[in-house]
Structure 1
C-alpha cells in the first residue's frame, strides 16, 4: 500500500507544483499589465526580475553553492533565456490579450513535447493541445485584430520557453534548487537595466512598489521555484505537454483580473487543452 501511495505521490506532486506555478505566474502577468501605464513593459520586467531575485536569493542562499565549469554553462543559458522569456512576453501583452499571447508563446513547450515524444499516446495529447490552440487563436475573420509585432514577440518568448525547459532541467540536476535563484539573478543582470534606463524616474514610486512586489512574488519567486522542483522529477516532454494548460490559465486570469471575455469557441479550446494536460498527467512514463 505504501509503495502504491509513493508512486502516486511521485506522479502527481510534480503536476500539482506545475499547476500552482501556472496559476501564480498568470495572476502575476495580469497584475503586471496594470503596471504598464506606470513603468512600461520593460519596467515591469525589471521590477519582476529584481523582486524575484531578491526573494529567491534570501530563501535559497545560492552563495553556498559550489559552481564548476561543468555546471556553469547550463546555468548561464538557463538564466539568459529565463530573462528573455520574461522580457519578450511582457512586450507581447502590450498589444495582445493575455490568453492569446500565452497561446502563441506555448509553441515553445509544445515543440519540446513534439520533438521528444516517442509513444503514440504522447502524440494524441499533443494533437489535442494543438486543436485547442487553433480554436483559442483568433483565426479567419478576426485575424486582422492580431498585432503582428505582439505575435512575433510571443513566438520569440516561446523559443526562450523551450530552452528554459531544456536547460532548466539540466541546471536543476547539476546545481539543485539554488539554480532558480542563480538563474533569476543572471536574468536580472542581463535584462533589468533596460527597464531602469527607460523608466528611472518612476520605478520606485509609492504607486508602483506594491504592484511590483506582487508581480515579483507571483510571477517569479513562487512559480520558478515550483517549476524547478517539478522539472527535476518528470521528463521534459511531460513538462512541455502539461504546459498546454497555460493558455487556459492565462485566458481565465485575464478574464477575472483584466475583464478579458471569452467566446464559446474559446471555451471549447480551453476544454481541449485541459483534457490534453489531464491525459498527459495520467500517462506519465518514467524517463528523461
Structure 2
C-alpha cells in the first residue's frame, strides 16, 4: 500500500487520535497529585510552559516571514489551549477524572454533531451521548458525588475544547510542520504566567515536584497536541471529534490505576457505549474515505 495513499493517511490519523486519548488522561492523573502543592492553575502553567520549551527545542519553529494570518491563528490557538487546560484542571481538583472527561467531551461531541452529514453518523453520535450521560449519572449516584462548581468549570473547558479543535485544524492549514503548535504553546504559557510564578517558587524550594510536572507536560501537552494536530491533517473534523469518545474510557482507566477511583458496572457500560460509537464512526469513515487526506489540505510535516 502506498504510504501516501488516502486510506493509509486515514489509518495513521486514527492511530494518532488513539495515542492522544491514551496519553492525556494519564498525564491528568499525575497532574491531580500535584494540585495540593502547586494548585490546579499553577500545574496548568507549569505543564504548558514546559511543553512549550520542549517543543521549541525539538521543533525550532521558523516564524520569520510569517504572515498576519499565521500569527493570528497561532495566538488564538494558544489562548484556547490555555483556557481548555486551566478550566479542566480546576474541574478535576473538584470532581473525579472519568466523569470530568465525559462532561468535557460534550464540547467536541456537539461539534461532531454539527459537522456530520450522514445519517449513520448521527446514530453513532447518539450512542456516544448516551455513554457520556451514563458516566455523568454514575458520578452523581455513585460513591463520588459531583461538585456543582466542578461541573460548571468542566463545561467551560468543554467549550474551549470545541474551539481548540476548530483552531487546531486552522493552524494545520496555514502553518507547516509543528511550527504553529510550538508558538501556540508559547502564547499559552505567557497567558498562564501569572498563575505559574507561585508554582515555580514552590518547585524551586521543593525540587521533588519537578519530575512529575515534566511528565505531566509531556503526557498532557507535547504528545497529545502533536498527535492531534497531525491527525487533523488526515481526518475530517467530524471523525476526529467522535473518535475522541475514547478518552472517557481511558480517563476511567487512569483514574482507577493511578488515583484509586472506583469503576462501577454503570461506568463500564458507559465506556462500552463510547467505544462502540468510536469504532462505528471509524469503520464508516474508512468505507467512505474521500480521495483526499481529510476535510482540510494536508501540510507537509
TM-score when normalising by structure 1:
0.94
| Residues 1:191 and 1:132: Cα distance change in structure 2 (over 3 Å) | same
- The answer on whether the counterparts of 1:88 and 1:157 sit within 8 Å (CA) in structure 2 is yes
Return the alpha-carbon distance in structure 2 between the equivalents of residues 4 and 17 of structure 1: 15
Give the match's secondary structure for 1:138. helix
Give the match's secondary structure for 2:203. coil
Please list, as runs of the form range in 1=range in 2, the aligned pairs for 1:91-240 lying within 5 A after superposition.
Answer: 91-138=90-137, 142=141, 145-176=145-176, 177-197=178-198, 199-204=199-204, 205-240=206-241
- The answer on whether the counterparts of 1:74 and 1:171 sit within 8 Å (CA) in structure 2 is yes
- The answer on whether the counterparts of 1:39 and 1:202 sit within 8 Å (CA) in structure 2 is yes
Structure 1 alignment gaps of length 5 or more: none
Return the alpha-carbon distance in structure 1 between the equivalents of residues 245 and 130 of structure 2: 11
Return the alpha-carbon distance in structure 2 between the equivalents of residues 100 and 233 of structure 1: 29
Deviations 1:26-77 (A, max 9, x none): 1100000111111110111011011100001111111455320122222211
Structure 2 alignment gaps of length 5 or more: 296-301
- The answer on whether the counterparts of 2:140 and 2:146 sit within 8 Å (CA) in structure 1 is no
Return the alpha-carbon distance in structure 2 between the equivalents of residues 274 and 19 of structure 1: 11
CA RMSD, aligned part only?
A: 1.9
Which residue in the other structure is 1:16 paired with?
Answer: 15
Return the alpha-carbon distance in structure 1 between the equivalents of residues 19 and 162 of structure 2: 20
Deviates more, 1:62-71 or 1:240-249: 62-71
Deviations 1:201-241 (A, max 9, x none): 31332121011111111111111111110011111111111
Corresponding position: 1:74 with 2:73: yes
Shift of 1:141: 6.6
Return the alpha-carbon distance in structure 2 between the equivalents of residues 26 and 42 of structure 1: 17
Which residue in the other structure is 2:259 paired with?
Answer: 258
Return the alpha-carbon distance in structure 2 between the equivalents of residues 203 and 256 of structure 1: 26
TM-score when normalising by structure 2:
0.90
